[in-house]
Amino acid sequence: MRQLLPPGEDQNPLDVYDQPRPTPNNRPWVMVNMISSLDGAISVAGTSGGLGNPADQKVLGTLRSLADIILVGAGTVRAEGYRPPRTPYPEAAQRRAARHQAPRARLAVVTGRGDLDPQGALFADHPPEDPLPLIFTTSHGAAALGESFIGRAEVVVLPGPLVDPSLVMEGLHQRGAGIVLSEGGPSLNHQLAAAGLVDELCLTVSPLLVGGEGPGLINGPVLESLEEFELAGLTTEDGLLFCRYLSA
């Protein structure tokens, strides 16, 4: 990985992304990580895998190694076939231990309707030594989940007809989370941005043109106030451009 901004030589992705991240206003620091084609597509044939390559997977693994919680929407869990988070590669694992983090990040799913499969790998293949995945949902969603997730997930029922991302962050903070990595999808990204909860955006630009129509990085109404970010880092590897933005 070659660093473009600030100017530098080849870099270890851990050294690029392992930066101080303060806890803002009694909530976790929120990173959003997404990949996009040159023309703004976030998936090929329904998944993001067709846009990336091993360099992108290395950055994804690095970002996951920094997080206490990996946050994802139910639609992305289904589309991408989410599995339990893996143990980071050795150097990243050593740094996690030095930061007194758990060996692996905990996964949290947001769903208003409770449309999740208890037999999905994320829940059925969960390592017994790790804390259960979290599901943040509404009372309606909890009713849809029923009793099938007992012993497979910790279900957190939030007040109101929709899942409030601020309450999600409050719940994660109460559970000791200092860094949350959101992996989308675009609807969840919109909710986080609209609530002013995105502290850092890690955007990978793939050198592909996809065409077609579909949601972009965020999907929802025009934001009431435009969110401004500052470019804090720019690196490249194998044709991909890795942009790191911080909330201005």
Q: Residue ranges of the domains in the chain?
A: 28-39+51-241
The whole-number pLDDT of residue 225 equals: 85
pLDDT in tens, 204-224: 999 999 987 777 899 999 998
- What Rg value do the Cα atoms of the chain yield, rounded? 18
pLDDT for the residue 19: 93
* CATH superfamily membership of 28-39+51-241: Dihydrofolate Reductase, subunit A (3.40.430.10)
pLDDT of residue 49: 87
Q: Judge residue 228's burial from the number of C-beta atoms within 10 Å of its C-beta, 0-12 exposed, 13-18 middle, 19 or more buried.
A: exposed
Model confidence, pTM? 0.94
Per-residue pLDDT of the chain (248 residues), as tens digits, is 878 877 777 889 999 999 999 888 889 999 999 999 999 999 998 889 899 999 999 999 999 999 999 999 999 999 999 999 999 999 999 999 999 999 999 999 999 999 999 999 999 999 999 999 999 999 999 999 999 999 999 999 999 999 999 999 999 999 999 999 999 899 999 999 999 999 999 999 999 999 877 778 999 999 988 889 999 999 999 999 999 999 99
Q: Are 111 and 134 in contact (CB under 8 A)?
A: no
Q: Which pLDDT score is estimated for 7?
A: 77
Q: Compute how many other C-beta atoms are within 10 angstroms of the C-beta atom of residue 160.
A: 10
Strands of 106-110's sheet in order across: 2-5, 229-237, 240-247, 200-205, 29-36, 179-182, 69-73, 106-110, 134-137, 154-157
